[in-house]
Copies of this chain bind each other. A is one copy, B any other.
Amino acid sequence: MVEYIGIEGIQRIVGRVGPARFMEGLAAEIEADYRRWGEFDKSARHAIYSPGGVIELMPTSDGQMYSFKYVNGHPKNTARGLLTVTAFGVLADVETGYPLLLSELTVSTALRTAAMSTLAARWMARPDSRVMALIGNGAQSEFQTIAFHHMLGIREFRLYDVDGHATEKLARNLHALGERDLQVTLCRSATDAVAGADIVTTLTADKCNATILTPGMIAPGMHLNAVGGDCPGKTELHPDILRRSDARVIVEYEPQSRTEGEIQQLPADFAVTEFAQVLSGAAPGRASAAEVTIFDSVGFALEDYSALRYLYKLQRQQNPSRKIDLIPHLDNPKDLFGLLRASTPRSPASPSARALRPIAAESAPT
């Protein structure tokens, strides 16, 4: 039997501690895994593109556990009442190849993305950051807000979305949290939202080379958390922002980010730093208060590995946890057919002597 976390399951698991503490715990797991970057089998995700979107598989392994995530990205889905991104994933035991956990990752991806954004900002944003602009107020925006508020001490969130209903929804959800020291400002434009922000998070979904942020909007010392540009042809930053002489660009896994991140707009030799190098001390996340730091985030398989292992731990603390019969258990592993024996219609005739020789001893062929 395989442990199973569906939507009801993730509601139960996150509900025990609340999203803020869940994301804080998850960020610690992600950080611990990025600190042993060299142990992971890394590859750019496998993507199949169609006119309406992309479906991706993101596998990785550290030699002990294996994980993969299935995730789609279909920007036009919201118009028909569907999610832009849905996801699920599996954690498996490398020694036997058996899956251990199947989990929803639609909600969990939003939680892990916000945890990762905040983790990166801890190393990259100015420590005195208190104001964040949030451009794109869709499905992931509450998660980013809560994570940055609780884990980084951001007090003011300046919201903007081309869809005013999305902004209202975000403000309503944040209001309902009842946090005293969380201030929300609704803005007229992306430019208004960004003005005066210490951190700018872009979370837009359009599948095109959009220009959500232009060079004139960026001030020295800002940290840009660019989340929405995450596949070929889908970017949010004007490339001149990346080219600023005072800009520092950090990516998760360079080979994947070259084709999926904001840096797809630049030559392949444009200098970037992998986040693991920041954690190891090989490179700074920020070298001065005046630098413009850019976390060119696309989401890497290691983060889902961390999330699945974290969920597996939390799931097993529940008694009883929910399981599904995805993998058979057999008394004799060579008798897979035994599972179907009961379901095989027997022919009415009994086997003739000719049909089957006695099994007693191995006989020579005739």
Contacts of A50 in B (CB 8 A): 61, 63, 94-95
Min CB distance A68 to B, Å, is 6
- Please report the total number of A residues contacting B with Cβ < 8 Å: 127
Of the candidates B19, B70, B94, B351, the one whose C-beta lies within 8 Å of that of A55 is B94
Complex Cα spacing A164 to B41, Å? 39
B142 touches A334 (CB 8 A): no
- CA–CA, A184 to B352, complex, Å? 11
* Interface hit among A121-129, A192-200, A284-292: A192-200
* Contact indicator A185/B41 (Cβ below 8 Å): no
The residue from B334, B336, B344, B362 contacting A106, defined by CB atoms under 8 A apart: B336
**In whole Å, how far is A191's beta carbon from the nearest beta carbon of chain B?**
10
Assess the A178–B72 pair: CB atoms within 8 A. no
Task: Confirm or deny: A99 has a beta carbon within 8 angstroms of a beta carbon on chain B.
Answer: yes
* Interface pair A192/B46, CB less than 8 Å apart: no
Quick check: A92 and B55 within 8 Å, CB to CB?
A: yes
Q: Given A6-B324, A334-B166, A357-B184, do A48 and B73 touch, yes or no (CB 8 Å)? A: no
Q: Which residues of B contact A192 (CB under 8 A)?
A: 364-365
A139→B185 contact, CB < 8 A? no
A165 and chain B: residue at smallest CB distance: B334
Query: What are the residues of chain B within 8 A of A7 when measuring CB–CB?
Result: 325-328, 339
A168 touches B359 (CB 8 A): yes
Determine if B55 and A57 form an interchain contact, defined as CB atoms under 8 angstroms apart: no
Q: From A76-84, A248-256, A268-276, A306-314, give the one contacting chain B.
A: A76-84
Does A86 reach chain B (CB closer than 8 Å)?
yes
Residues of chain B within 8 A (CB-CB) of A186 are 357, 359, 362-363
Report A217 CB to chain B, min CB distance, Å. 13
CA distance A83 to B185 in the complex (A): 57
- One of A8-16, A221-229, A239-247 at the interface: A8-16
Please, which residues of chain B bring their CB within 8 A of the CB of A178? Answer: 346-347, 349-351
Are A362 and B164 in touch, CB under 8 angstroms? Answer: yes
CA distance A183 to B330 in the complex (A): 27
In contact, A177 and B346 (Cβ under 8 angstroms)? yes
Closest B residue by C-beta to A92 = B55
Are B173 and A337 in contact (CB-based, < 8 A)? yes
A158 at the interface (CB under 8 A from B): yes
A325 engages B72 (CB within 8 Å): no
Q: Say whether A332 faces chain B, with CB atoms less than 8 Å apart.
A: yes
A174 within 8 A of B: yes
A19-B344, A178-B346, A363-B186 known; A107 vs B339 contact (CB < 8 Å): yes
Question: In the docked arrangement, what's the CA distance between A351 and B179, Å?
Answer: 6
Q: Please indicate the chain B residues that have their CB under 8 angstroms from the CB of A176 in the complex.
A: 341, 344, 346
Chain B residues whose CB sits within 8 angstroms of the CB of A364 once the complex forms: 187-188, 192
- 16 examples of A-B residue contacts, CB within 8 angstroms: A6-B324, A19-B340, A46-B46, A48-B66, A55-B94, A57-B68, A73-B97, A86-B98, A165-B334, A167-B362, A169-B334, A174-B356, A177-B346, A179-B347, A180-B352, A188-B362
Which 7 pairs show the lowest CB-CB distances between chains A and B? A72-B97, A15-B343, A142-B337, A6-B325, A139-B336, A7-B325, A175-B356
Besides A7-B326, A138-B334, A185-B365, 16 other A-B contacts (C-beta < 8 A): A4-B324, A7-B327, A53-B97, A83-B330, A86-B97, A104-B327, A106-B336, A139-B335, A163-B334, A171-B356, A175-B351, A178-B347, A178-B349, A179-B351, A181-B355, A185-B357
